[in-house]
Amino acid sequence: MTNCELRIASYGLRITASFVLVLGLLLAPLTASAEGISVIESKAEHSFAQQITFTLRATSDAEITAVYLFFRATGDDQTKSVPIEDFEPGREISASYTNDMRRFPLPPFATVNFWWQIEDSAGNQLTTEPQQTEYTDNRFRWEQISDGDITVHWVEEHGDPAFGQAALDVARASVEEANAELHAPTLEPIAIYIYDAQHNLDAAMLLTGREWVVGQAHPELGVVIVAIPYEDGYTSRMARYIPHEITHLLVYQTVTPAGYKYVPEWLDEGLAMSNERLPTPEFTLTLDEARAAGQLLPLESLCVPFPPDSHATFLAYAQSGSVVRFIRERYGAAKIRALLAAYANGASCTSGVQDALNVSLGGLETAWRASLEPQAPWRAWADQIGVWVGLWLLSLLLAAPMISKLRP
């Protein structure tokens, strides 16, 4: 397998040494000089959606009197600090802390960075270098395949290498195609987790306090989670779900974390819908029925998260994809990037459209709705021959002066 590395993994992502070093410099202070204090063991173990336990063993020439734990999951804004009280002071100590995920959940499939601060009676203090542990769904065993910065994980029970390779091929092509339009300044690593059944994904997300559908991107983590059963037609599902979620990650990287909150829902979801490599026919049918019944949703209502009603949500997705395809066809990919740039700079839903497309949000909606109206046969014929008729009339106008000069 050229340029690919196939390997079995119980869980977790493979983190490169350079990535660890960068996060260490960003997320924790430098290790202090602490004569006599040394760490024998530092580790973290978890049960998905139940608990994560951090354990430390350390020694010192003087009595260790205080231990503090610091940890933060990727995507969290704040570092949690915990003074460890349940340990026996001494020259050699064992300390631990258990975080109850049911009360204080962590983002699923996040990287958790943790470090310790140790103090002794001689006034020495040691802050350890940060370590990382992957908070994955370890109720399952995962197989893994990687190519560059893209890693695909799938449930080991269905360990066919062809399944993982197909997902990796779709993911790699999706990144290349989507980024040809978006031009994300920096491509970050992407991890894709594929559950073997929808109920397993649903249970995992509910356990962590989240409700997700077929799949979802966690853009701040660089993680895509989807449900694709190992059965006939799985490549079709991959072609639909994986590009959709990868687009969300690339939009996030394009507008930066600070700008992502300003991107309207219709644009974010519309880009994801329009980038699916195998569109869902039901969306087109729903859009046509709503147009015919005069029940299309106002575009302004799609600037914010979609309505909870399942039918309205389905229509919102269909409309968003259609609007983005209309913008792409009428204005071109450069204007898609201009829209994202406007929102990255904090534009409102309406002002972003005005700034990037030089049309109001209402004007955009009017033009888009008009594009959905079916054309009468004579209109389609007129559109086809219109250019040639125009050229013929122009030739007559140009020829008229010449003809007049030829008259006696």
What would you measure as the largest C-alpha separation in the chain, in angstroms?
Answer: 122
DSSP state of 279: -
Residue 324: inside a domain, yes or no?
yes
Q: Does one domain contain both 31 and 115?
A: yes
Which of 201, 236, 257 delimits the end of a domain? 257
Which of 135, 170, 192 delimits the end of a domain? 135
Instruction: List C-alpha distances in Å: 314 to 120, 174, 310, 311.
Output: 61, 23, 6, 5
Which band of pLDDT confidence, cut at 50, 70 and 90, is reported for residue 206?
confident
> Taking 70 as the threshold, does the pLDDT of residue 24 lie above it?
no
Q: Does one domain contain both 229 and 188?
A: yes
Q: Does one domain contain both 203 and 240?
A: yes
Q: What is the mean pLDDT of the chain?
A: 85
Residue 406: inside a domain, yes or no?
no
In 261-376, which ranges are continuous DSSP H helix? 265-274, 281-292, 310-331, 333-344, 349-357, 361-372
Structural domain boundaries enclosing 307: 262-400
Q: Give the CATH number, domain containing residue 224.
A: 3.40.30.160
Question: Considering Cα of 349, then 351, then 244, then 254, what sign does the dihedral take?
Answer: negative
Q: Does one domain contain both 287 and 395?
A: yes
Q: Does one domain contain both 164 and 90?
A: no
Quick one: pLDDT at residue 5? Answer: 39
Q: Is the pTM of this model over 0.85?
A: no
Residue 27: inside a domain, yes or no?
yes
pLDDT in tens, 71-98: 999 878 899 999 999 999 999 999 999 9
Q: Does one domain contain both 149 and 238?
A: yes
Which residues are CB-neighbours of 387 under 8 A, at least 6 positions away? Answer: none
Q: Does one domain contain both 372 and 390?
A: yes
Instruction: List C-alpha distances in Å: 22 to 17, 130, 162, 191.
Output: 9, 10, 35, 19
Residue 332: inside a domain, yes or no?
yes
Q: Does one domain contain both 125 and 33?
A: yes
Q: Does one domain contain both 226 and 295?
A: no
Q: Give the CATH number, domain containing residue 77.
A: 2.60.40.10
pLDDT in tens, 331-341: 999 999 999 99
| CB contact at 8 A, 135 and 110 | yes
Q: Does one domain contain both 266 and 252?
A: no
| Distance between CA atoms of residues 56 and 123, nearest Å | 20
| Distance between CA atoms of residues 367 and 330, nearest Å | 10
Q: Does one domain contain both 269 and 394?
A: yes
pLDDT in tens, 251-294: 999 999 999 999 999 999 999 999 999 888 899 999 999 999 99
Q: Does one domain contain both 214 and 284?
A: no
Which of 257, 275, 300 delimits the end of a domain? 257
Number of separate domains in the chain: 3
